[in-house]
Amino acid sequence: MRLLPRGKTIKEQLDTSKLKMPDALQKMCANYFSGYLSFEVAQGDGIIGYVKGQIVAALWQRYVGEERRERLCGELALQMIFREIQSDKCLMGVYRLRDDFIPYVRQFCQAKVEARDQLVELLDIHRLMARLKQKQFSGCLRLHSGDRVELIFYSEGVALGFFCDGSLGLSADIDAATSIVLDERCLVDIVRANPAGEQDCRIRGVNLEKVWLRVWRDLNP
């Protein structure tokens, strides 16, 4: 399950077993890359977010049956991504974003999921919007159907904009004719910003080689 919209696609479906790791990740640092990398395995998905070559966010979501999902952020997420890269078939995607949008990616990675997989066509949308405003909701609504994802970001109950496939950052509006909201299978997750995220999901300054080696030693005792 894709966690974020694609942004501007640089590469997709890269088999990590054919890449030199973690050198490929460090190359993003050397190239002052801003955007995110996605990692897909059979039982989970991960994200590593960069701004100007610095890793600022990581998220790992593992699927345990159909009802339960394990969500990790920060260095713990990075460790799990490295574990999956080293032990399972993993596909990587590279997506460029604007520098000023990366804080939203970081917020998403650090956030708490309050509700997931609600069928949009069964929701009272006007009531939901009113409740978000009343509760001064900060975070995002994550709309998803199959391999497509759209995000609507909020701050204190006010909609800030949309993030959709092909976007480099927030957009003020969306093409209603192509929005996944029209898909009868469209689901929505309510993802609330986590004020303690910077503390709970620390990752700035992490040493990629040391984390990679630590995971390798765990897998090869």
Task: Please list the ranges in the chain whose pLDDT falls under 50.
Answer: none
Residue type (1 letter), 144: H
One domain, residues 90 and 150: no
Q: Torsion-angle region of residue 140: left (phi > 0), alpha (psi -120 to 50) or beta?
A: beta
pTM (2 d.p.): 0.92
- Indicate if 8 and 60 belong to the same structural domain: yes
pLDDT computed for residue 173 by the predictor: 80
89 and 2, same domain (yes or no): yes
pLDDT reported for residue 42: 86
Based on the fold, state whether residues 208 and 188 are members of the same structural domain: no
For 208, other C-beta atoms within 10 Å of its C-beta total 18
pLDDT recorded at residue 70: 87
pLDDT computed for residue 67 by the predictor: 60
How far is Cα 159 from Cα 155, in angstroms, rounded to an integer?
Answer: 7
Q: Report strand pairing: 35-41 vs 91-96.
A: antiparallel
Query: Based on the structure, what is the number of domains in the chain?
Result: 2
| 91 and 116, same domain (yes or no) | no
Q: Are residues 84 and 169 in the same domain?
A: no
Note whether 178 and 126 are same-domain residues. Answer: yes
Structural domain includes residue 199: no
pLDDT tens for 114-146 read: 999 999 989 888 899 999 999 999 999 999 998
Under 8 Å between Cβ of 34 and 48? no
Judge if 22 and 83 occupy the same domain. yes
Residue written as token pair 């460090």: 26
Q: Looking at residue 204, what is its pLDDT?
A: 79
Do 189 and 210 have their domain in common? Answer: no
Question: Would you say residue 49 lies in a domain?
Answer: yes
Cα–Cα dist 77/83, whole Å: 10
Q: Does 188 lie in the same domain as 119?
A: yes
Residue 102 lies in a domain: no
Residues 12, 84, single domain; the answer is yes
Q: Which domain covers residue 156, as residue numbers?
A: 112-193
Q: Is residue 14 part of a domain?
A: yes
**198 in a structural domain:** no
Please report the pLDDT score of residue 14 as a whole number.
94
Is 24 a domain residue?
yes
Tell whether 147 is covered by a domain: yes
Q: How many helices (H) and strands (E) does the chain have?
A: 6, 11
Show contacts of 162-165: CB within 8 Å, 24+ apart: 163/4, 163/5, 163/101, 163/104, 164/5, 165/5, 165/6, 165/7
Does residue 157 sit in the same domain as residue 209? no
7 in a domain, yes or no?
Answer: yes
Residue 57 pLDDT: 95
How many other β-carbons are positioned within 10 Å of the β-carbon of residue 39?
24
Peptide bond into 22 cis (omega under 30): yes
